[in-house]
Chains A and B, each alone.
Chain A
Amino acid sequence: AQTVTQSQPEMSVQEAETVTLSCTYDTSESDYYLFWYKQPPSRQMILVIRQEAYKQQNATENRFSVNFQKAAKSFSLKISDSQLGDAAMYFCAYRSGVWAGTALIFGKGTTLSVSS
C-alpha cells in the first residue's frame, strides 16, 4: 500500500523568506501523481501544485515550486517570498495513475505559520 509521510508537523517562516516543506512517499508503482494542497483557516482544500511522476522537470506555480526526486521518493514544496496569506496547513498527497478509481492518499499535514 502507498503511504505519504510529512515529517514536519509545524514550520515557521518570516515574511519574504523562503521555506521548504518535506514530503516522502512509498510506492512500487511507476505511474502516479503527486499534489500539494493548502488548507487555510477557512478549511477549504486548495490545490497548490501538481507533479506527474513521468515528468523529470519540477513543477512551478508562481512562488511555489517542488523538488521532485523520484528515486528518493521525495516531493518537497518550496515557498518563496512568503506572505502572511501562506499561513495554512499543507498536505502532500499521492494518487495512483494505474487505476482512476484510487483515492488521494494524504500525509498528516504540516502547519505553516508566517510572521511579519
Chain B
Amino acid sequence: EAQVTQNPRYLITVTGKKLTVTCSQNMNHEYMSWYRQDPGLGLRQIYYSMNVEVTDKGDVPEGYKVSRKEKRNFPLILESPSPNQTSLYFCASSLTSSANEQFFGPGTRLTVL
C-alpha cells in the first residue's frame, strides 16, 4: 500500500530534550516536506526536500532541523524543543511537479512541557 508513515504518533516531552520524528514514504517520491498545524493558522511548511541531500527552509524553520540521506526518509529533528513547538506535525511527499498531489502522513501530536 502506498503510504507515508510517521513515528511516533503522539509524544509528550520536556523542554530541551532532543527528539526526532521519523517520516518514511514508499512511493519513490522526490519531494518531501514537513508542516505544522496550529489552531487558527492552518498548515505551515517547516522544511522541504527536493531530493536526497537537497533540503531547504520553509516558512517556519526556526528550532527545527531535517536531513535527507535516503530518498524514502525525511526525519524532523528538534534539538532543544520549547513549548511553542507544541503542535500537530505532518510529513508529506509527492512527485516533483507542482501538479502532483501531496500525500500526507497520519500526523504526530507533539506536546512540549
Contact = CB atoms under 8 A, between A and B. Distances in A.
B111 interface: no
A90 to B, nearest CB: 11
A108 B43 CA distance: 8
Contact of A45 (B48, B90, B96): B90
Residue among A44, A98, A101, A109 facing the most chain B CB atoms (10 A cut-off): A101
Chain A to chain B: the 4 pairs with minimum beta-carbon distance, closest first: A103-B45, A45-B104, A106-B42, A106-B43
B74 interface: no
B97 interface: yes
Determine the main DSSP class of A at the interface with B. Answer: loop
Contacts of A101: 31, 48, 50, 56
B47 to A, nearest CB: 10
Contacts of B44: 106
Given A43-B88, A108-B41, A109-B42, A102 B101 contact: no
